[in-house]
Amino acid sequence: MVTLSLVTATAPPEPLHESARNANYDIQVRLDVEQRMLIGSQTLEWTNITDRETDEMWFHLYWNGWRNDRSTWMKGDRIRDRSDLSGDVRESDWSWIEVDRIEWLGTETLDLTDESRFATPDDGNADDRTVLVVSLPNAVQPGETAQIRMEWRSKIPKTFARTGARGEYYFFAHWFPKLGVFEGERGWNCHQFHSTTEFFSDYGVYDVTMTVPESYELGATGRPLETTETADGQRSHRYHQADVHAFTWTTSPDYVVLERMFAREGLPTVAMRLMMQAEHLGQADRHFAATEAALESYGQWYGPYPYGHVTVVDPAWGSGAGGMEYPTLFTSGTRLFNPKGMDSPESVTIHEAGHQFWYGLVGNNEFEDAWIDEGFNTFSTIRTLETSFGPKVLSRRFVEPPGGGRGFFPLLFRDIELSRWDERRVRFRQSAESDIPDSHTFRYFPGTAGNISYSKTALWLATLERHLGWEVLQPILSTFFERYRYRHPDAADFIAVAEEVSGQDLSWFFDQVHYDHVAFDYAVHSISSVPAEPTGFIDGDPEPVYNEPEDDPDSGRWLSEVIVQRNGGGVFPVDVLLQFEDGEERRFQWDGSETWKAFTVTRESKLRRAVVDPDRVLMLDVNYSNNGRSVESRADLPAGKWSTRWLVWAQDLFTTFAYFI
């Protein structure tokens, strides 16, 4: 480990709002690198903040999701056609978590170890052991606080869903028995571990002591309080953090740690700690810049980041970590060759840093409403990228790594810029009608959770921005953020804020984009421009006379007709723009409710082009290619341009085939 620089952090500002702090943990854990085990004990102090009593406590045992291939996590993974179980899976790759002792710390200490059972509230899968229910000796009354002590052991997996070990790299998320959320009348909200969703917990104070080999660098949620050397060459790191809903940590001897301070006028300072892989040191500035961009943009748009510190983890290659959010700590992820223009590591860093706001501070139930944190954050990520970074360009990677995946060496096509919104639209289109976003996220049709949660939500937010204006959407989002910081909002909460702040009834919009799964697709069906004078017999005296107007664009008047069509079930008000050959334009507004509508104009110039939704307000339109139509086609040139390029490739391909003769 090499520490390149050390910046002394200033004292963290006090949180703007304290959370309920009703789930507080004191945890001691030791990493056994020889056995790849975690051995831990914890004392949980939980306060019932609802108006109902409970005589149970429900815990997540996440790591049992990777206990065997019968778990609900693994089943979900298979249904999604994911690859976690493909290839070379060995005994050492699996994991488990065993709770050896459970104690009730009341007026007297009671052993509850035998008072526990596994529960499967989501699917009744008897093989799933990711939810543990502990029966309590006494009901916990509203306002009362209970204390539970647990001892447990976990076998560390080869990295599944970002968690686990690879070489001497360790990353631990969802690693301890973690309390679900008691919702009063609705009981315990403690879903099984699903491969598409992960977290929902109450806010609290975490005091965690982690013991690891002396030579290992360590990063964790919160701030380090003290470090203690032990006699057996180990080192204990004590971290503390209040007002968060999870605790994650990582350790490895290979991290290179860099520190820098984020300081912007009007925003609290933030000590940024970057734990890099040595081979990525050349990209350290890009990681810091992206983190700063997120802290600045999100801070200005929604509200300040209150914790005063953040740790950015560059995960080890092959760890399957990628980008992921945890309180005051997130993983980024990059490649050795990542030239600017590919949006990496910028995009993932901004996104995960942004999750500190949407997930960390606004703590929606990610099992049920992942679209809130993922969608709002994806929208904000793209906005930040567009604001702070240059365009993204087309690229292709060559030379696949062993085991598959994207190639090592990128070739950039710098003159082909990619629209980040269009990339989202391409993904969304695949799942436009597959499921209703209001369903619980883990119940979405297999393989569509990402497209719905990330892309669809980001696109309807972008649509709202264009429809209402940023000057309306921004206050909606900042009000929602302010009101639900350290709380657990759902769809109804957001819609209520949106309608309150905008002063509009937006039910027509949310009924379609959230409570239904209709697709939006407006198109120009046909376009024509003919001489205004009729062809055929016209009024004459004493009898009708035959008329045949000249088809001369420079003389006479033209009758132009455009038929626009609504192909999808979704309805949205759109503009229809008619452009004429003399440069004039006519714009019409259409409420978009009929299945088709004709627009007719008679004027002295021939129609050149018609386009529906010319300003691309409806970002959810699944097919933009049919939005515009021209009277004359100019397709020969672009088709020629691209087919000749294809021709050259095919010629070379043929000579490559001939290589074998």
Partner 1 sequence: MTARSAWLTGLRTTALAPWLLLTLWLAGLGLALPAAWVVHSTLRAAIAHTDVEGAMLAGFDTIWFGEFSAEATGVSATFDPTLSGAGGFLVNLESWFTGSLFDGFGGLIGAGAVFALFWAFLLGGTLSRVAFPERAMSASSFFHIGGEFLLRFIRLALISAIPYVLIYRLHLWLMERAEEALRESTTESAAIFYTLLIYGLTGLLLTAVQMSFGYAKVATVVDDRRSMFLAAVRGAGFVITRFPKVIALQGLTLAAGLIALLLYGLIAPGATIASWSGVVWTLLLAQLFLLAKLFLRVSLLAGQAALYRKFSPVVESGSDLTRAAAVSGAVPARLPTRFR
Residue 650 CB partners (closer than 8 Å, separation 6+): none
Q: Which of 423, 425, 454, 422 lies closest to 437, judged by CA?
A: 454
Cβ distance to partner 1 smaller for residue 86 or 109: 86
Contacting residues for 496 by C-beta, under 8 A, at least 6 apart: none
Residue 263 or 653: which CB sits closer to partner 1? 653
User: What is the b/e burial string over 207-225, where b = at least 16 CB atoms within 10 angstroms of the residue's CB?
Assistant: bbbbbbbeebbbbbbbbee
121 vs 318, beta carbon nearer partner 1: 318
Q: In the range 96-125, which residues lie near partner 1 by CB under 8 A?
A: none
Q: Which residues contact 76 (CB under 8 A, 6 or more apart)?
A: 194, 195, 196, 442, 446
Among 151, 279, 482, 575, binds partner 1 (CB under 8 A): 279
Return the structure tokens found at 608. 């050149």
Q: Give the contacts of 296 (CB within 8 A, at least 6 positions apart).
A: 262, 264, 267
Q: Minimum distance from CB of 167 to partner 1 (Å)? A: 4
Q: Using CA atoms, how far apart are residues 235 and 254, in angstroms rounded to an integer?
A: 16
Least separation in angstroms between residue 415's CB and partner 1 is 4
Amino acid at 285: D
Pairing of strands 309-313, 270-277: parallel
Residue 441's nearest CA partner among 80, 31, 57 is 80
Query: Taking the complex as a whole, how short is the minimal distance between the CB of residue 595 and partner 1, in angstroms?
Result: 21
Instruction: Choose, by CB under 8 A, the member of 4, 263, 416, 598 that binds partner 1.
Output: 416
Return the number of the residue (194 or 629) whose C-beta is nearest partner 1: 629
Task: Return the number of the residue (265 or 636) whose C-beta is nearest partner 1.
Answer: 636
Helices (H), 413-526: 420-430, 449-450, 457-468, 470-484, 491-502, 507-513
Question: Residue 152 or residue 558: which is nearer to partner 1 going by CB?
Answer: 558
Stretch that binds partner 1, among 26-34, 264-272, 587-595, 650-658 (CB under 8 A): 650-658
- Considering only residues 578 through 637, tell me which ones interact with partner 1, judged by CB under 8 A: 609, 611, 623-631, 633-637
Total residue count of the chain as it appears in this document = 661
Site map 306..325 versus partner 1, x via CB under 8 A: ----------xxxx------
CA 54 – CA 374 distance, rounded (Å) = 32
Binding residue count for partner 1, defined by CB under 8 A: 81
Restricted to residues 229-268, the positions that interact with partner 1 (CB under 8 A) are 252, 254
* Smallest distance, partner 1 to C-beta of residue 244, A: 28
Sheet holding 596-603, edge to edge: 522-531, 558-566, 596-603
- DSSP helix, strand, coil percent of the chain (3-state; round to 5): 25, 35, 40
Distance CA 270, CA 288 (A): 12
Structure tokens at 569: 């079930």
Per rule CB under 8 A, is residue 459 in the interface with partner 1? no
Nearer to partner 1, 503 or 634 (CB): 634
Task: For the CB of residue 404, give the shortest distance to partner 1 in the complex, in Å.
Answer: 9
DSSP 361-428: TB---HHHHHIIIIIHHHHHHHHHHHHHS--EEEEEEESPPTT--S-SEEEEEEEEEE-HHHHHHHHH
In this chain, which of 26, 98, 151, 168 binds partner 1, going by CB under 8 A?
168
Helix, coil or strand: residue 469: coil
Among candidate residues 178, 135, 133, 124, the one with its CA nearest the CA of residue 154: 178
Whose Cβ is closer to partner 1: residue 53's or residue 93's?
Answer: 93
The least distance separating partner 1 from the CB of residue 613, rounded to whole angstroms, comes to: 11
Give least dist CB 161 to partner 1, A: 18
Q: How far is the CB of 131 from partner 1 (least distance, A)?
A: 32
- Minimum distance between the CB of residue 427 and partner 1, rounded to whole angstroms? 9
- Of 211 and 627, nearer to partner 1 (C-beta) is 627
Beta-carbon contacts of residue 468 (< 8 Å; ≥ 6 apart): 476, 502, 504
Of residues 381-410, which lie at the interface with partner 1 (CB under 8 A)? 394-396, 398-403, 408
Contact between residue 210 and residue 224 where contact means Cβ atoms under 8 Å apart: no
Q: How many CB atoms lie within 10 A of CB 550?
A: 10
Q: Where are the alpha helices (DSSP H) in 241-357?
A: 284-301, 346-354
Q: How far apart are CA 445 and CA 436, in angstroms?
A: 9
Among 126, 231, 545, 648, binds partner 1 (CB under 8 A): 648
Q: Name residue 249's beta-bridge partners.
A: 172, 220
Lay out the site mask for partner 1 across 510-529 (x = CB under 8 A, - = otherwise): -----------------x--
Q: Considering the complex, state which of residue 107 and residue 633 has its C-beta at the smaller distance from partner 1.
A: 633
Rounded least distance, CB 134 to partner 1, Å: 37
Q: Which is nearer to partner 1, 412 or 506 (CB)?
A: 412
Stretch that binds partner 1, among 37-45, 70-78, 420-428, 453-461 (CB under 8 A): 420-428
- Using the minimum distance from each CB to partner 1, give the nearer residue, 241 or 347: 347
User: Of 492 and 647, which has the nearer Cβ to partner 1?
Assistant: 647
If the CB atoms of residues 546 and 646 are measured against partner 1, the closer one turns out to be: 646
CA of residue 354 relative to chain centroid, distance: 10
Stretch binding partner 1 (CB under 8 A), from 182-190, 342-350, 423-431, 534-542: 423-431
DSSP at 632: S
Minimum CB–partner distance for residue 220 and partner 1 (Å): 19
- Check binding of 639 to partner 1 (CB under 8 A): yes
Pick 382 or 611: Cβ nearer partner 1: 611
Segment 48 to 87, residues that bind partner 1, using CB under 8 A: 87
From 454, 455, 335, select the one nearest 399 (Cα to Cα): 335
Nearer to partner 1 by Cβ, of 501 and 619: the residue is 619
643 belongs to the binding site for partner 1 (CB under 8 A): yes
Contact flags string 148-167 toward partner 1, x per CB under 8 A: ------------------xx
Among 161, 224, 163, 216, CA closest to 194: 161
Q: Does the footprint of partner 1 cover residue 642 (CB under 8 A)?
A: yes
Give the interface segment with partner 1, choosing from 192-200, 422-430, 487-495, 528-536 (CB under 8 A): 422-430
Please work out, in degrees rounded to the nearest 5, the angle formed at the alpha carbon of residue 314 by the alpha carbons of 383 and 154: 115
Considering the complex, what minimum distance in angstroms separates the CB of residue 425 from partner 1?
6
We find the least distance from the C-beta atom of residue 158 to partner 1, in angstroms, to be 8
* CB-nearer residue toward partner 1: 403 or 469: 403
Strand partners, 359: none
Q: Tell which one of 426, 518, 530, 559 touches partner 1 (CB under 8 A).
A: 426
Q: From the CB of 568, what's the least distance to partner 1, in Å?
A: 14
The residues in 331-390 that bind partner 1, with binding defined as CB under 8 A, are 335-336
Which one of 32, 151, 423, 581 is in contact with partner 1 (CB under 8 A)? 423
Q: Is 444 in contact with 434 (CB distance < 8 Å)?
A: yes
